[in-house]
């Protein structure tokens, strides 16, 4: 199944039809939901998760709506994002998974990020520019959670409760 997913990801990787950003997120959805999202516009193409959510608004996305192509409905959509530090030339990668709430589960979105240094270097310090840009990749989740009154958990830290920002110590996972 991994071979099929990798083939689909390579084939469907592209520019988001709406925001024109390079879509690094890979997810699948039901044919019915996809038709609803594309109603009156394109027949094919790529939408990033943010633009899919905008098109379906005010409908909320649920775990059962999405798949990463390997685990069936409810498996976590994932994204990969690379960053090359202009100062050092070192390349860093962020992989992230976004878990939407189930129809019967708790009202929360979970985002887990993993960071890598891709170059053979001893520089394991992640530059602030990379971390800030990585935050920008998932920034839309804050507005989405506020709109749908959802909790937001980023890297194991709850940053929004039912769409409202919470203040607990130093919040490094959610700088929004």
- Mean pLDDT is lowest, of 9-18, 77-86, 110-119, 150-159, for 9-18
Q: Is residue 133 part of a domain?
A: yes
Interatomic CA distance for residues 152 and 129, integer angstroms? 23
Q: Give the mean pLDDT of 125-137.
A: 86
User: Which residues, other chains included, contact 144 with Cβ-Cβ below 8 Å and sequence gap of 6+?
Assistant: 50, 53, 109, 150
The fraction of the chain above a pLDDT of 90, given in percent, is 24
Q: Is residue 173 part of a domain?
A: no
Burial of 144 (0-12, 13-18, 19+ CB in 10 A): buried
pLDDT tier, 69 (very low <50, low <70, confident <90, very high otherwise): low
Q: What is the pLDDT of residues 87-100, one digit of tens each?
A: 888 888 888 888 89
Q: What is the residue range of 99's domain? A: 2-165
pLDDT surpassing 60 at residue 172: no
Q: Is residue 174 part of a domain?
A: no
Q: How much is the pLDDT for 71?
A: 61
Q: What is the pLDDT of residues 16-63, one digit of tens each?
A: 888 888 766 778 888 889 889 988 776 677 888 899 999 999 999 998
Residue with tokens 């409760």: 161
Q: Is residue 17 part of a domain?
A: yes
Q: How much is the pLDDT for 54?
A: 92
Q: Is residue 175 part of a domain?
A: no
Q: Is residue 144 part of a domain?
A: yes
Q: Is residue 176 part of a domain?
A: no
The fraction of the chain above a pLDDT of 70, given in percent, is 76
Number of domains in the chain: 1
Interatomic CA distance for residues 89 and 129, integer angstroms? 13
């Amino acid at each position: 199944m991994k071979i099929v997913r990798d083939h689909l990801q390579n084939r469907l990787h592209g520019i988001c039809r709406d925001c024109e950003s390079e879509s690094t997120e890979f997810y699948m959805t039901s044919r019915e939901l996809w038709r609803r999202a594309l109603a009156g516009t394109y027949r094919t193409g790529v939408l990033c998760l943010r633009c899919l959510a905008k098109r379906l608004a005010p409908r909320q996305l649920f775990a059962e709506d999405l798949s990463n192509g390997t685990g069936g409905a409810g498996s976590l959509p994932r994204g990969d994002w690379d960053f090359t530090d202009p100062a050092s030339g070192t390349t860093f990668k962020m992989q992230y998974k976004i878990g939407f709430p189930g129809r019967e589960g708790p009202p929360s979105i979970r985002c887990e990020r993993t960071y890598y240094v891709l170059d053979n270097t001893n520089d394991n310090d992640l530059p602030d520019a990379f971390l800030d840009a990585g935050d920008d990749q998932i920034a839309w989740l804050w507005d989405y959670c506020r709109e749908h009154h959802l909790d937001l958990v980023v890297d194991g830290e709850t940053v929004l409760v039912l769409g409202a920002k919470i203040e607990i110590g130093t919040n490094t996972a959610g700088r929004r």
